[in-house]
Amino acid sequence: MTEFNKSKWAKAEFSQEYVENSDIYVVERRRLLEILRSFYNHFINNKPKINILDLGCGDGIITHELLKVNNSMSTTLIDGSENMLNKAKKRLNGFNHTHFIKASFQEIIDKNIIQGNFDFIVSSLAIHHLTMYEKKALFRSIYSHLDTDGYFLNIDVVLAPTEALERWYLLLWKEWIDERKAVLKIEGNYFNEISQKYKDPVNDKPDILDTQIGALKSIGFKDVDCFYKYGIFTMYGGKK
């Protein structure tokens, strides 16, 4: 089992850097959030008392987007980083029924950290920090904490299935960053740094999309699909 405390996310300065630059790092971040809200409106928002769980919540951006649609739902946010959870608490200050838990995914898998069931379990750009073995174990835990008809949605980076595709996907990513880099006047070889980090085996362990879709299906998820894809950036999930 990998350990959260040995990852870059355990360091406050790394998480701060991500929060400041995520709209540049993440291709079509704003569009992803629009699609997430549409998914929520279409599949979740018609239920009477909504409980959602945000895994690897970071500064709470995903939960915040959903609270903008429905501020009466109950939300639980989990992250391994105290620093990130503090940012999330600050961001969601003023919303009712918000619960924060400091725990790593490894603890979720090994111990009974999650209590109760949820209508919607969402995660963004966090699960790729786990090995495929751990991802599948986490998907099982997610499945067991979803209500019947509840949904899981994961926004994440994936590995390209071939080297030729990877070269193009990285080019797409570079083009996205280069356009914004000019606007924001970022110095240095920014893209090389982050594209190397994305496959750095100590921290980031992206897997092929098909493998993750297959894992969800084998666990019993229904309506499994990739809802959005742009190079290595994807949104996929399914229903219990």
Ligand X SMILES: C[S@@+](CC[C@H](N)C(=O)[O-])C[C@H]1O[C@@H](n2cnc3c(N)ncnc32)[C@H](O)[C@@H]1O
Considering the rule CB under 6 A, would residue 237 count as an interface residue with ligand X? no
Near ligand X by CB under 6 A, which window of 74-82, 164-172, 194-202, 211-219? 74-82
Site for ligand X in 125-184 (CB under 6 A): 125-126, 129
Looking at beta carbons only, is 22 or 195 nearer to ligand X? Answer: 22
Three-state SS for the chain is: CCCHHHCHHHCHHHHHHHHHHHHHHCCCHHHHHHHHHHHHHHHHCCCCCCEEEEECCCCCHHHHHHHHHCCCCEEEEEECCHHHHHHHHHHCCCCCCEEEEECCHHHHHHCCCCCCCEEEEEEECCHHHCCHHHHHHHHHHHHHCEEEEEEEEEEEECECCCHHHHHHHHHHHHHHHHHHHHHHCCCCCHHHHHHHHCCCCCCCCCCEHHHHHHHHHHHCCEEEEEEEEECCEEEEEEEC
Instruction: Name the minimum Å distance from CB 204 to ligand X.
Output: 9
Considering the rule CB under 6 A, would residue 56 count as an interface residue with ligand X? yes
Considering the rule CB under 6 A, would residue 204 count as an interface residue with ligand X? no
Instruction: Name the minimum Å distance from CB 133 to ligand X.
Output: 13
Considering the rule CB under 6 A, would residue 62 count as an interface residue with ligand X? yes
Q: In the complex, which residues of this chain contact ligand X (CB under 6 A)?
A: 4, 7, 9, 15, 18, 22, 56-58, 61-62, 79-81, 84, 104-106, 124-126, 129
